A and B are shown apart, each in its own frame.
Chain A
């Protein structure tokens, strides 16, 4: 119908959210059935009166959480909409025009002026999601072939996300990133933001690991602390290895003759020249052999990894 064509003629208008455009399907339906189609630019705003007010109301609705049920109900009406693909680009145009010209429309509708701050705010919000129209139009075009897109939702629309994502979710391999208000949403910054969030999550993990890092504010200092911790651990290993080398000038690891007898005879402090019983074998299974070579003799020892019970009575080592 010429109404939709007229709206479709306007191009270069920016974004709407999927929510508003989907709601506008209903609005359009009512609009078409009730109002006569007038298509000139001058009376555009007059034509827009009803959708503007309802648009403003709807935009206002999306801010409040109480209206989420309304939104979901409206969104639930998506499927039986009678319009084809043309409506939704025009819906986006419609919305944006409505948002922009709401100031102009104040002279015609008194109570719109009261809503201009919200509309300007909504305009900011609306502009903050540029590529949403594409995803929405493609959704409406073909719900069967679901194009893989990144979903971007606002903070307040958690329930809305369920209805939308139920359409797209089963095939999306992409990361679901949440765009916040006033943040750029092109693909690069989205990926950057996802990456940054990943890094911050890992940093939190590291913070818990390193003692004394949770008090520190700021990533740089935390990183310095982590680096200090790693360096101190490495220095400790070096120190202990030196002590080991110093303590034991004659390391005799002939473990064939070792038996940990009952506890009494163990801690007597004499480390040389005791008599030992013969050991049984450790059960050497369940341990994967190392696949890399070593310069020493390859000890094909298998150790039970998860179930090692080092009971002092039965230490069995064969190396």
Chain B
């Protein structure tokens, strides 16, 4: 379909606008837009080939599938297992599909800081706890790690939003 051509044109034109990688000490680089685009399109095509579109008719159902596909593709595009939140997202998606996902587990240095953090965790839900609920996989992370994951997550989310916006703009009838 030609809308794909349009989209790919748009992506190629937008390719130069990449997000600047921020800190030197903390690495929160995300890949460029077309990586996200490729993954998303791939997931969408998988979606449509899987379900012939006669049966799932309601827009809501399709919307939910698209949303899930968007998150999964985002997690893959962002470097699938190198980030905690992407791993958690993929694990969650695979669990919903009754699949078992295996990741290479990294060695984690457990310091005594974690124990002291748990001691003070019985408080009214404050901002960090809300953040933990928002960011996937944020339940058991140190706060500094949570911040790092949040930064990367925000970058990837905004990239995904741009990709989807391009898609919708390309697909919507003029």
- Chain A interface (Cβ within 8 Å of chain B)? 188, 191-192, 195, 198-199, 201-203, 205-206, 208-210, 220, 223-224, 226-227, 229-231, 233-234, 236-238, 240-255, 258-261, 263, 266-267, 269-272, 274, 290-297, 299, 301, 303, 305, 308-312, 315, 317, 319
- Contact A296:B1 (CB < 8 A) given known A198-B144, A238-B67, A243-B168: no
Q: A209-B22, A230-B157 are in contact. Are A224 and B127 (CB under 8 A)?
A: yes
Contact in complex: A245, B46 (CB < 8 Å): no
- Can you spell out 17 A-B residue pairs with CB atoms less than 8 angstroms apart? A198-B144, A199-B147, A234-B157, A237-B160, A240-B165, A242-B67, A251-B44, A251-B47, A251-B48, A254-B1, A270-B2, A292-B94, A292-B102, A305-B35, A310-B12, A310-B15, A315-B5
Chain A hits for B17, CB < 8 A: none
Residue in A closest to B66 when the chains form the complex, CB atoms:
A241
Nearest CB in chain A to that of B161: its residue:
A236
Answer whether A292 and B80 are a contact pair too, CB < 8 Å, given A195-B113, A248-B171, A253-B45: yes
Residue of B nearest to A309 (CB): B12
Alpha-carbon distance between A251 and B45 when the two chains are bound, in angstroms: 8
In the complex with contacts A202-B144, A224-B127, A250-B53, A296-B5 CB distance below 8 A? no
Judging by beta carbons under 8 Å apart, are A299 and B143 in contact? no
- The answer to the question of B131 belonging to the interface, with a C-beta cut-off of 8 Å to chain A, is yes
Q: Chain B at the A interface: mostly helix, strand, loop or mixed?
A: helix
Q: A236-B161, A244-B171, A263-B9 are in contact. List 8 more A-B contacts (CB 8 A).
A: A206-B150, A223-B131, A224-B127, A246-B63, A267-B6, A271-B173, A294-B99, A295-B99
Tell me if B55 counts as interface (CB < 8 A to partner A): no
**A233 to B127, Cβ gap below 8 A?**
no
A282, chain B: closest CB distance, angstroms: 10
Given A230-B157, A251-B48, A255-B4, A199:B144 Cβ within 8 A: yes
Cβ-closest chain A residue relative to B26? A205
Alpha-carbon distance between A284 and B81 when the two chains are bound, in angstroms = 21
Tell me whether A293 and B147 are in contact (CB under 8 A). no
Minimum CB–CB distance for A36 against chain B, Å: 52
A274: chain B residues within 8 A (beta carbon):
2
Determine the distance from Cα of A231 to Cα of B131 in the docked complex, in whole angstroms.
Answer: 10
B residues neighboring A (CB under 8 Å): 1-6, 8-9, 11-12, 15, 22-23, 25-26, 28, 31-32, 34-35, 38, 41-42, 44-50, 53, 59-60, 62-67, 70-72, 76, 80-81, 90, 94, 97, 99, 101-104, 112-113, 116, 126-128, 130-131, 134-135, 143-144, 147-148, 150-151, 153-155, 157-158, 160-161, 164-165, 167-168, 171-174
- B42 with A241: CB separation less than 8 A: no
Which chain A residues border B167 with CB–CB below 8 Å? 240, 244
CA distance in complex: A20, B134 (Å):
52
Known contacts A250-B53, A315-B8; is-contact A233 B94 (Cβ 8 Å): no
A258 to B6, CA, bound (A): 11
Assembly CA distance A110 to B6 (angstroms): 90
Q: CB distance B172 to A247 under 8 Å?
A: yes
**B50 and A296 contact, CB distance less than 8 A:** yes
In the complex, which residues of chain B have a beta carbon less than 8 angstroms from the beta carbon of A261? 5
Contact B66 A245 (CB under 8 A): yes
Q: How far, in whole Å, are A28 and B145 apart by their CA atoms in the complex?
A: 50
Give every chain A residue within 8 A of B97 (Cβ-Cβ): 295
Known A195-B144, A202-B151, A295-B99; judge A241-B4 contact (CB<8 A): no
